[in-house]
């Protein structure tokens, strides 16, 4: 992607299907821009509000989406570029971002009020990516990671960068297929690694055979033990429970999820490499063991 028009810009990324997901993320980040992934299906008023809040100066989408997005955002003065039409970098050098430079803005669901943009720096994403590679044993040349998360969810960014940084294969299928036939997508891509929500994983038929799977990372919501117990038949797969906050770059804890145990839910696990955790007690709560999780590290 042409570094001259993206360097320093906050770029709204509407590329939500196919290889364009990875191409847009890589192009914007390597050209020195800040990725702002947005859902093109959002109502026009909501999109305008988010674009203004994020101070977006450039819109990037796939060629097939240009007409619809232009119509939705009619009279917008923000330039709209099709990914396929953006020129080669030419003489414009790619940047070497500093660790404290922003790499992306992710909008949270707004469960505590209006949606807010969470800013993540290159240093945090880099640290997360290498920690994920180590924790999930993503091996160069043989690991095949299926991209399941929507491009507006930070695990998608983490999966793209960690997989490619490791020299592994990123597998992309249509989102409709993931929802209708997740097992078929896993088998067709021969995926060895996948990161998903427990709700999506629950769509798998119990006992379905997935012989290529090695690592399953589930997160984004509480993981019931019964789901682990009734999960797919993957002889060599390790199922991990992950937990974290978007503000600290995707997730920060990981634990092997076993189907047996006293608690109905699987434990959040231990910190990823390079992460420090502490539990600070909270006064005036009904639960004696309630507390706030404090996260430290890059």
CB neighbours of residue 42 within 10 Å:
16
Residue 11 main-chain phi, psi, to 5 deg: -110, 120
pLDDT one-digit tens code per residue, 48-82: 999 999 999 999 998 888 999 999 998 888 988 88
Confidence of residue 285 (pLDDT cuts 50, 70, 90): low
Please work out, in degrees rounded to the nearest 5, the angle formed at the alpha carbon of residue 219 by the alpha carbons of 17 and 184: 50
Q: Which residues contact 71 (CB under 8 A, 6 or more apart)?
A: none
Structure tokens at 37: 């992934």
What pLDDT sits at residue 1? 46
Q: Mean pLDDT throughout 124-144?
A: 94
Average pLDDT over residues 258-287: 83
- Alpha-carbon distance 56 to 143, whole Å? 36
**Tens of pLDDT along 84-108?**
876 554 555 677 888 999 999 999 8
- State the average pLDDT for the chain: 88
pTM of the model: 0.90
Q: How confident is the model at residue 136 (pLDDT cuts 50, 70, 90)?
A: very high
> CA 254, CA 120: separation in Å to the nearest integer?
20
**Whether the predicted pLDDT of 150 surpasses 60:** yes
């Amino acid at each position: 992607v042409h570094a001259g028009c993206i360097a320093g810009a906050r770029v709204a990324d509407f590329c939500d299907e196919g290889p364009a997901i990875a191409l847009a993320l890589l192009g914007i980040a390597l050209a020195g821009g800040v990725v702002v992934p947005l859902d093109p299906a959002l109502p026009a008023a909501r999109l305008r509000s988010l674009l203004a809040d994020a101070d977006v100066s450039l819109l990037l989408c796939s060629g097939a989406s240009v007409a619809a997005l232009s119509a939705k955002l009619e009279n917008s003065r923000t330039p709209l570029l099709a990914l396929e039409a953006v020129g080669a970098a030419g003489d414009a050098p790619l940047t070497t971002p500093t660790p404290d430079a922003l790499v992306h803005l992710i909008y949270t669901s707004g469960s505590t009020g209006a949606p807010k943009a969470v800013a993540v720096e290159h240093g945090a994403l880099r640290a997360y990516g290498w920690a994920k590679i180590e924790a999930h044993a993503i091996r160069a040349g043989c690991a095949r990671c299926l991209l399941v998360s929507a491009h507006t969810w930070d695990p998608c960014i983490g999966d793209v960068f960690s997989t490619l940084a490791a020299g592994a294969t990123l597998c992309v299928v249509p989102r409709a297929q993931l929802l209708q036939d997740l097992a078929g997508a896993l088998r067709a891509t021969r995926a060895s690694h996948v990161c998903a929500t427990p709700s999506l994983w629950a769509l798998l038929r119990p006992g379905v055979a997935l012989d290529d799977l090695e690592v399953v990372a589930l997160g984004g919501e509480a993981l019931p033990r019964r789901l682990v117990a009734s999960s797919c038949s993957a002889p060599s797969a390790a199922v991990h429970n992950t937990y974290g906050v978007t503000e600290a770059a995707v997730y920060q804890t990981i634990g092997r999820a076993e189907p047996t145990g006293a608690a109905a839910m699987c434990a959040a696990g231990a910190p990823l490499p390079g992460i420090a955790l502490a539990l600070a007690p909270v006064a005036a709560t009904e639960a004696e063991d309630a507390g706030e999780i404090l996260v430290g590290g890059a």
